[in-house]
Structure 1
């Protein structure tokens, strides 16, 4: 039992400033750094699920209104979905680079499976789920593994980095560099430390639960290492470590350059006196778009904003730029751009995607578990509250919402917003950062613009 527990931990050397009692840096082998890189491949739905420790009502940390969206989706009954698989795909989205993450020493996402189901008729088509219909209206019933497929799987024994025992320096805010004395000296100097004498070394064994906590803190904190390993430290470290000086612009793919972003129509109800959005009436198309907020990997979220931290808080952007600035020779078996922009897993996107996010095609023989390429049942309607809680539209839900809002009917107004690229980016940013008012913070400025133009 002890041997098994030892296999599930990784060693990490912490460098602690004794005067301020904070972690200034960590020294780690590539196995730990690969785990940090894998954070960028995780869809938001996976992050909420694993950081909730089995209880989405009491998460390790709260990420804007994303937890509300996840809980709302989780509470919807199966009759709101095209199939039960559709709900599963949103709550347990597939990691587009999950086959690489299977090679990690500690893999925090247990939802990935190398088991597939093949159609017994044509035998060339397969699915992640059993009983999915193929074009011949036959069901996928035969269980197979990735090795049985023509395309096979990723057979390498490594995740992302080249083989070797090279050490890396990781700052408290997750800037990562290959270790050398000058890198450490520059880091300590940037923190106002002039000598090494006041630095204490501490060896720790990192568990899976601690990796999950580190992931959660990286999205909300500037000092996740200190938060994790010095949790009883009463001092809040306001000093931020140096960030990249310039914003970066990412190139669009050829496919997204050639086509305009689709638009969605959203009917919103606002409090006229406060300009606060009370709720929105969403079609199944807009609901599907909201579902993709949970299926997009972190790396692709940062990529789509095209500027520094975009809508993400904490220090996850430092991790992103560390991968971006790492020399290509350090990366093995995968293009670095795939980590920076993993894309949405195949069939995890919506028909009308204003953010113009691409899917990563796993196989042309893979069957879409969604009968009509939708998550929600066609022609269904939903109520989306300001905090992104989602409910099916019904007379009962409408009366309850009006009763809870306690806003005079005379102070209520309806408007229609066309959600294109700018509106979608603003809403996504608000969903990631606003604890309770994602609709208002994301879309109210577009309402004001509409009023001025009227």
Structure 2
């Protein structure tokens, strides 16, 4: 009886700790006259929430933002996938994998309950077809219920999860040492607390009279974390937006995404066939249809490889995107957050060097890489699994859900082929239909005589440029393939006028 009462008390205490972990306190230094947060001061808990954002896939951020998402053209790409018929995907699981992408840091989130509670992640469930087959024959496990086993049966029996201690209050930290305290600027530059840095910030913002300053204690819960995640990618002042938002709504500093994209010097010129063939890289052919007067791409026509490349972007973690683009995404304060991790000394702040690497270069989860990937983002190796039974452990192989059959190796693709797709300038992806192309011209009142065709080659450089433009622009194809070289394109031999008979 005493043992049962003790377990009950422990369980009650665990529940109380978990509820308390749903909120954390934060101290803000506010300029009352400007209604602006100068900086926030906190321990590890709040900073770890911010750092964990770097491990979240972009598709997860779009999903959490809902109808309010303003992430360049990636929001339209996400909606296109939602509406795409399953016949154009290799398996039903492919759509779910990209609409609800997983994070390679999933196991660490159990110590960050606020991240779990906003729906940013979920525990992976595992299924087998039967105990006999799992233990003695094929030894396969699936992350999708009712996937076909090699024996022909459906894998519908859920494997019980191993019971572990729930560290609801974060314990001694996930990424950061327990006793560290930090200053977080309004633009999410993070540093270890320092009086000198505090004075320097006051000087930077022209605060000479400290009577205009006020300390403000705020609670951070699920709503604030979700709001911070959204503002992180759109604003230069996310702390002010979230905690002083009601008074500051008219002063928010949202990015002019269109101008940022068009002024970018990072857009590369599309490679010619000769350039592609001299490099060791994959290549794709994309056919552009563009308005020769407005110098704007209307849409592209491409095979399933290009559609697969685009949809796979939704699984990219934010930290990997920043790394790919050299720390210059132009997305709100994301670059500042990334740079803060680079500058933090892991010997003093970070618990383990590999955790710092996880934040700066997060990998794709197992089986989220594709054969059509042009960008150098590493894929995490499948975690070894075992089924314990009667004093012995049976090794299991996890299935790659991108294949309709029971396959365990990496690779494959999300989009089925052969198939042709239409991709608009803002990354709306649809199965190719000539009638849809005619309707496109009609809707925009564009004469057929004003349309021309250009064939371009998509290599790693173009894919990098496309990734950068998709984050901040609503005219991605124009920015990547047309905006930087209108004169050269006028003389390219593979460019031809578009005539009416091409529609017939």
Indicate the TM-score class for this superposition, using the shorter chain for normalisation: 0.7 to 0.9
Tell me by how many angstroms 1:179 deviates: 1.6
Contact 2:127–2:157 under 8 Å retained in 1: yes
Show the counterpart of 1:416.
455
Query: Structure 2: where are the runs of 5+ without partners?
Result: 1-14, 256-278, 385-396, 405-411, 494-504
Per-residue deviation, residues 123-151 of structure 1 (Å, max 9, x unmatched): 54322212234556554333125539xxx
* CA displacement at 1:291 relative to structure 2: 0.8
1:3-402 pair list within 5 angstroms: 6-52=20-66, 58-59=67-68, 61-107=69-115, 108-120=118-130, 121-123=133-135, 124-134=139-149, 139-145=154-160, 147=162, 160-194=174-208, 196-231=210-245, 232-233=247-248, 236=251, 260-306=280-326, 308-309=327-328, 311-329=329-347, 330-332=349-351, 334-363=354-383, 365-371=397-403, 373-402=412-441
Alignment partners' CA distance in 1, 2:54 and 2:419: 33
Question: Cα distance, 1:48 vs. partner?
Answer: 0.4
Deviates more, 1:85-94 or 1:418-427: 418-427
Equivalent positions of 1:417-432 (< 5 A) are: 417-432=456-471
Moved more, 121-130 or 276-285: 121-130
SS in 2 for 1:342: coil
Contact preservation (8 Å) 1:269, 1:412: yes
CA offset digits 1:382-420 (Å, max 9, x no partner): 211111111122355334323223211111111211111
Higher-Rg member (1/2): 2
Change (3 A) 1:382 1:158: farther
- My pick for the range that moved more, 279-288 or 364-373, is 364-373
Partner of 1:439: 477
Confirm or deny: 8 A CA contact 1:114 1:145 kept in the other structure: no
Shift of 1:185: 2.2
- CA separation of 1:446 and 1:374: change in aligned 2, threshold 3 A: farther
Question: Counterparts of 2:89 and 2:470 in 1: how far apart (Å)?
Answer: 23
TM-score by length of 1: 0.85
Q: CA distance change for structure 1 residues 394 and 452 in 2, over 3 Å: closer, same or farther?
A: closer
Distance 1:437 1:301 in 2: 19
| Separation of aligned partners in 1, 2:422 and 2:171 | 47
Q: Residues 119, 215 of structure 1: CA spacing in aligned structure 2 closer, same or farther, 3 A cutoff? A: same
State how far apart, in whole Å, the 2-side matches of 1:351 and 1:161 are.
32
Give the Cα separation in 2 of the matches to 1:452 and 1:382. 27
Counterpart Cα distance in 1 of 2:382 and 2:203:
46
Unaligned runs of 5+ in 1: 53-57, 241-258
Report the CA distance between 1:272 and its aligned residue.
1.4
1:194 offset after TM fit, Å?
A: 3.8
Deviations 1:295-331 (A, max 9, x none): 101100011112x32x342111110011111111322
Task: Please state how far the C-alpha of 1:118 moved relative to its aligned partner.
Answer: 3.1
- For the aligned residue pairs, the C-alpha RMSD in angstroms reads 2.9
Q: 1:318 to 1:408 in 2, by over 3 A?
A: same
Cα separation, 2, equivalents of 1:291 and 1:158: 38
Question: Hey, which of these two has a bigger chunk of helix by percent?
Answer: 2
Q: 1 CA distance for matches of 2:427 and 2:254?
A: 33
For the Cα contact (< 8 Å) 1:99–1:154, is it kept in 2? no
Alpha carbons of structure 1 residues 238 and 432: separation in structure 2 relative to 1, 3 Å: closer
Q: Distance in 1 between matches of 2:173 and 2:442?
A: 53
Give the deviation of 1:381 after TM superposition: 1.8
Q: How many residues align?
A: 423
CA distance in 2, matches of 1:37, 1:270: 41
**C-alpha contact (below 8 Å) 1:16/1:24 kept by paired residues:** yes
TM-superposed deviation, 1:369: 0.3
Contact 2:372 2:413 in 1 (8 A): no
C-alpha spacing 1:36/1:353, structure 2 compared with 1 (3 Å): same
What SS does the aligned partner of 2:219 have?
A: strand
- Can you list the C-alpha shifts for 1:330-388, whole angstroms capped at 9, x where unaligned? 22254311111112222222212121222122326321101172212221222111111
Deviations 1:42-61 (A, max 9, x none): 11100000111xxxxx21x4
